[in-house]
Every structure is written in structure tokens, then in C-alpha cells.
Amino acid sequence: MYLKEIIINGFKSFPEKTVVKINSELTAVVGPNGSGKSNISDSFKWVMGEQSAKILRGSKMEDVIFAGTEKRKPLSYAEVDLIFNNSSGKLPVEYSEVSIKRRLYRSGDSEYLLNNNSVRLKEIRELFMDTGIGIDGYSIIGQGRIEDIISSKSDIRRKVIEEAAGIVKFKTRKDESLKKLQKTEENILRINDIISEIEQRIDPLRKQKEDAEIYLRLKNNLKSYELNLFSREYEKTTELLNTLDNHLKSKLEELAKNNQRLEINKLEFEQIIDELKDIEDKKNNLDEIQDQINSEYLEKDSSIKLEESRLNLYIGEKEKLEHGMDEKEKQKSELLKKSESLMDQIAIKDGELRLKHQQMGNSEQKLKDYLADNTQLQDLIDKKKNDVFEKYNQQTDLKGRINTIDSLIANSMNRINNLKSEIDDQKNQLEILAQKIESLTTELKSKELKVQENNDRIVGLRDNYSKKNESCILLEKNLQKEQNHINEKTSKMEFLIRMQNSYDGYYKSVQNLMLASKNNRMLGDEIIGVVAELIETHEKYENALEVALGSSMQNILIQNERKASDIIDYLKSNNIGRVTFLPLDTIKPRNLNDTEKNALQIDGCIGTLNNLVSYDEKYSHIVDFLLGRVLLSDNIRNGIKIAKSIHYSTRVVTLEGEVINAGGSITGGSLKKNSFKLLSRNREIKELEDLIIMKRKDFGQLNRQL
């Protein structure tokens, strides 16, 4: 095996790919200073895994990447590839030619390749162990290296000799094995520590296991109880839903009736509206008729006034004509008188004419004069006759006009009378229409009042229905809420009663014994009960009492000491477990001495716990035995003061559950929340019973309201 080629690309002063062929003729690389001779050996060491930039004559590993010149840009990576001839099989690989390549990027990423397959540096180092090739091998002896070898430093000489002897691989494996053994020993120590720690936790874990078993059993019981509860609640809910459904049906029927009444009222309302419209139309028609009659009345009244004015005009004209006729009569009579006088004159003249005729012979001139006078007189007579005829004609015309005017007056009077009768008829019609309008107006007002009443009634019914509906919905919600609350509290109470009757939460041995006592007469006669069942206290003292009693809560009271052995034999024979018994005839009370009683006067001391619990008087010595020497403090600071005042001679517990034990040890911290408290069950059951009774009363009251 020998090095065949070195391919350098981007390493230090080699910006371009450079291939250095190694053959038997190559003895040395020569050149001036700075030409890169040392860079070739550095590249060899770098590929073989050199991690020190200082040994490679740089400040950081990135310095091995070509940094660039004025004419060449810097490169982003450096790569060196060593090619070995492995035809002899010296290297434990199946290849006759082995390529070892290392590549480094400016980002800091680096990779090693074996025949272009990514490998770890450890694999490369293991490959070349005992070959003399490597960063510590004797195949590369740098400047000052010979001095190190021949110096007195045995470590360096040993490394070179071990490399030449071929034991480096085994020594490395030995070192790794020793390191693994050391790590194993350290792990064993840690495991031992863990085991000891776990052993310390075995008892608590055993207790937790029992608690977990109790929890799982209770969880299964709870699941079955919940199924039963859900079944019962489903039945109750179904009954309630049926009740509510029936109630809803009745309400819907009532609503349907109300809607029917509402529809009837709507129909009546619409009918009244139609009647109102008819009445309004009739009223409008009557108003039109009244307006028409009023217009006709005004027209006829104006006609009457016109006819009356005409009549007055005719009457005036008639009076004028009559007055003219009187004048004409007077003129006629005057003319007649004149005519008569003229006739008389004519007669006189005629007599005179005759006389003249007789005297005709008197003279012709007289005759002519006479004739002339006679002619003149005859003309005057004719003229007067004409005047008389003219006056007569005028009188005839006046009489005709008077007759015409009389007929016109008669017609006008008839027309006036007809108009007056028509006006009277229309007045009567107007009075009838007014009465009818008044009647219709009264009826309209009555209908409007009825409509308003119906509207008010509809609004009232709607408001009343809405209020009642809202009230019913609210009552139903409250009813359902109360029912759910009652069901919840009832379920909780029944669950607590079942837990109490089955002694869930007690030690398994106590539970099994108490359950057996219900069916075993011998046990039932001797066993009185568990301590937790026989005492009660205020809720605020429960934590302190549970801490003070501890496992004593599950001690069982029995009648006398004689029967204790029989019960213990029963426990053994049935493999039930261990139980602590408190015989009534042997237990003696334990109370504070006179010195310890002084602690009762210290601030924060509430009293002894035996005085803060309620119980049957016949168990007083049992209670005194368990609690007579336990003091209760309001907090830990006052508790320490109380314990210190009596020199830690007895226990002091606080309301939050801290304990100052006799002797001075103190126990405290957060209490684990326990949903299976033994002392509080009786109290919770009584409180739930009272609450359920009260809620049922409220439920009944709400149901009656609904």
C-alpha cells in the first residue's frame, strides 16, 4: 500500500485543481520559500483529520480556503483528495484503490468521503490505524518533529513506537473500552442511587397503588353509577319532556284558540272597516246630494229672487201702466169732454151754419168765412178724433200689456209657489238626510269605538300572550334549571350514600370487613362502626381533623376486647387484611396536663380537637383518646408558638392542615385535593338533603306558577 496521488483544489495556495502524482522516482519537493511546499504536507494532514488551524499555520479553519489575489477571486470551498494503492490489501476494505477526500465550505460545513461515499472522521482514523499514516503517524515528520522524537519526552516517542508496532488500534479500543467501563460504573452508581431512591418511594408508591386501585374501582363504580344515573335522568327527562310536551300542546291549543279569536276579531275588524267604508261612501254620497240640493236650492232661491224682482218690476210697470191708463182715461174723458164741447160747438156751428144758410143770402163772403171756419173746425175735430183713437189704441195696448203682465205675474206666482214647495220638499229631504247623516255619524263613531276597542283588545291580547309566553318560557327555563339542579344534587347525594354504604375510599381491609359485618351476625353485633362515621365537625375544621386523625379515621370501634381476637381470626381466615380496633371497654381517655392547658390561652389557639367535634356521649373516651391531646391553631406561625410554649410535648395542627408533631418535627405544604373525604360525607349528605327539600319546594312553586 502506498500513496498514489494527491489532488488539491482550492486549498491554500492552490486555486486550481492540482494533481501531485507520487511514484517511486519522487524523492523530494523542492522550491523557494513561499512556493507552497509545506501546503502539500498540510493538505495531507488536513485530509487525515487535523482539526487544529494553528498546526495548519492558520488562525481559523477557513484560512485553508484560497483567499484570492489581485487577479483571482477567492474560492468558496477547499477540497483535497488522497488516492492510495491498496493492491496489497493493507487497508481493510475491498477496494484496490482507496480515495480519501475532505471538503470544507466557507459556511463552516465540512464533509469526509471514502471512495465518494460520505463517512465520519472516526471511520477514516480507524481505517489507517497501525499503518503509520495519520495526523500522529510517523509517515509525516514535520519541522521540529525529529527533535521531539529523540528528546526526553517519552509520550511522544511512545506514540511513534506504538504506531510503528501496530498496537495503536488495540490501545485505542482499550481506551474506548475503559471509558465505556467507567461510564458503565457511573451508570451503575446512578442506578444504585435510583434504586435506593425508588426503594424509599416503594411504600408511598404502594400506597399510591392502593389509591390507584381504589380510584380505578371507584371509577368503574362511578361509570356504572353514571350509567344508572344517566338512565334515571333519561327517564326523568323523558317524563319531564312528556309533561312539557303535553303542557306545550295545551299552550299550543290555547294559542290556536287565541289565534282563532284573533282571526275572528280580524274578520270583525275587517267587516267593520268595510261597513265604515260603506258608511263613508254613503256619507260622501249624501254630502254630494246635500251639496247638489244646496246648489239647486241656491239656484232656485236665486231664480225666485229673480222672479220676485221681475214680479216687482212687472207690478211696478203695471202700476205705471195703470197710472198711465188713468191719465189716458182722464185725457180721454177730457178729449170726450172737448169732443162733446166741440160737438156742441159743431152743433152750435151747425145751427149757426143753418142759420148762416138761412142767412146765406147775406153774403157769400160770410159763407166762405163760415166754410173756412167750418173746415178748420172739422180738421180740429178729425185731429181730436185721431187723438182719441190713438189714445184708445194706446189704452188697448196698455190693457193687453196689463193682461200679459197679469199672466206673467200669475205664472211667476205659480212658479214661486212651485219653487217654494220644491224648497220645502228639499228642506224635508235635507232634514231627513241630516238625521240620516247624524245617525250614520253616530253609528260610525260607535263602529270606530268598537274598532278601537277591538284594536286595544287585540293589542292587549298580543301583549298578554307575549308576556305570558315569555313568562312561560322563563318559568320553563327556571323549572328545567331547578330540575337539573335537583337531579344533580340528588345524584351527588345518592352517590355519596352509595359510597358511604359501600365504604368506598376506605382501606380495602376496612371496606371488606364493614361490608361483611352487614351479612355476618357475629360481626354485626360486635362492630359499632368506623371512627369517620361516628364523629362530625364544622366544615372549617375538617382538614385539621383529617390530618390529626390520619389513618385513625379508619379505626373500627368494637364492643369489647374479648371479641377482637375472633374478628382478627376472621380477617386471617378470609385473607381480608389488617385492621385497627378500638374496644370500648379498654380504651382510656388522654387529655392535656395542667401545664399544657396553659397553651389554650395563647393567641391563635382555638382549642383541643376533642371539644370541636360532635359525637355520641358514650364514645367520649374514644374521642378523648384520639383527639384529647391535639391542639388546633389558626395558622402555622401561631402553631409554632403554641408548640414551643409546651416544649413540643404534644401535637398542634392548623386549619390548613400543617402539623407540629410532638418532639418538634413539622409537616406542611399543599394538601392533595381528595374527592373521597371520609369525614365530610355525613355533613354533605345532610346538606344535600336540606338543599334538595328546599329546591323541590321551589320547583313545586314554579310548577304551580307555570
- The set of residues, in sequence order, having a beta carbon less than 8 Å from that of 444 and lying 6+ positions away, is 276, 279, 280, 283
Q: Let me know if residue 187 belongs to a domain.
A: no
**pLDDT score recorded for residue 703:** 66
Q: Let me know if residue 323 belongs to a domain.
A: yes
In this structure, are residues 358 and 320 in contact, taking their beta carbons and an 8 Å threshold? no
- Are residues 24 and 85 both part of a single domain? yes
In this structure, are residues 101 and 116 in contact, taking their beta carbons and an 8 Å threshold? yes
- Are residues 458 and 535 both part of a single domain? no
- Are residues 426 and 482 both part of a single domain? yes
For residue 112, what is the enclosing H or E element? Answer: strand 110-114
Q: Is 85 helix (H, G, I), strand (E, B) or coil?
A: strand
Total number of domains in the chain: 3
Other residues' Cβ atoms within 10 Å of the Cβ of residue 197: 9
- Are residues 553 and 647 both part of a single domain? yes
Q: Let me know if residue 18 belongs to a domain.
A: yes
Q: Let me know if residue 706 belongs to a domain.
A: no
- Are residues 433 and 577 both part of a single domain? no
> d(Cα 157, Cα 169) in Å, to the nearest integer?
17
Q: Let me know if residue 254 belongs to a domain.
A: yes
Cβ density class 260-271: b for 16+ within 10 Å, e for less: eebeeeeeebee
> d(Cα 662, Cα 673) in Å, to the nearest integer?
26
Residue type at 323? H
- The set of residues, in sequence order, having a beta carbon less than 8 Å from that of 18 and lying 6+ positions away, is 7, 8, 9
- Are residues 474 and 532 both part of a single domain? no
What averages of pLDDT result for each successive group of 10 residues across the chain (706 residues)?
Answer: 84 87 71 79 82 80 86 89 84 84 89 89 76 59 57 60 59 78 82 71 71 79 77 75 73 74 72 71 69 68 67 66 65 64 63 59 54 62 66 67 69 70 71 73 74 75 74 74 79 83 86 88 88 90 90 90 88 90 91 90 93 92 93 93 92 92 86 66 84 78 65
Where does residue 684 rank: exposed (0-12), middle (13-18), buried (19+ CB within 10 A)?
Answer: middle
Q: Which domain holds residue 599?
A: 527-675
- Are residues 438 and 537 both part of a single domain? no
**pLDDT score recorded for residue 675:** 47
**pLDDT score recorded for residue 203:** 66
- Are residues 580 and 477 both part of a single domain? no
Locate all alpha helices (DSSP H) within 560-666, ordered by sequence.
Answer: 564-573, 594-597, 620-627, 636-645
pTM above 0.95, yes or no: no
- Are residues 280 and 416 both part of a single domain? yes
Give the end of a domain, one of 90, 116, 135: 135
Closest CA to 7 of 25, 22, 20: 20
Q: What are phi and psi of 415, to 5 degrees?
A: -65, -40
End-to-end CA distance of the chain: 106
- Are residues 536 and 464 both part of a single domain? no
> d(Cα 78, Cα 63) in Å, to the nearest integer?
10
Q: Let me know if residue 155 belongs to a domain.
A: no
Q: What are phi and psi of 190, to 5 degrees?
A: -65, -40
Q: What's the gap between Cα 48 and its chain centre?
A: 70
Residue type at 227? L
Give the start-end residues of each E strand in 518-676.
Answer: 527-530, 536-537, 556-558, 581-583, 605-608, 613-614, 630-633, 651-654, 659-660, 666-667
Give the end of a domain, one of 486, 511, 542: 486
Question: Residue 29 belongs to a domain with what CATH number?
Answer: 3.40.50.300
Q: What are phi and psi of 572, to 5 degrees?
A: -65, -45
**pLDDT score recorded for residue 286:** 65
- Are residues 365 and 471 both part of a single domain? yes
- Are residues 325 and 453 both part of a single domain? yes
**pLDDT score recorded for residue 625:** 93
The DSSP string of 302-357 is HHHHHHHHHHHHHHHHHHHHHHHHHHHHHHHHHHHHHHHHHHHHHHHHHHHHHHHH
| Helix, strand, coil content of the chain in percent (nearest 5) | 65, 10, 25
Q: Let me know if residue 179 belongs to a domain.
A: no
Q: Let me know if residue 519 belongs to a domain.
A: no
Question: Residue 564 belongs to a domain with what CATH number?
Answer: 3.30.70.1620
336-to-323, 329, 389, 454 alpha-carbon distances in Å = 19, 10, 11, 97
Length of the chain, in residues: 706
> d(Cα 218, Cα 681) in Å, to the nearest integer?
16
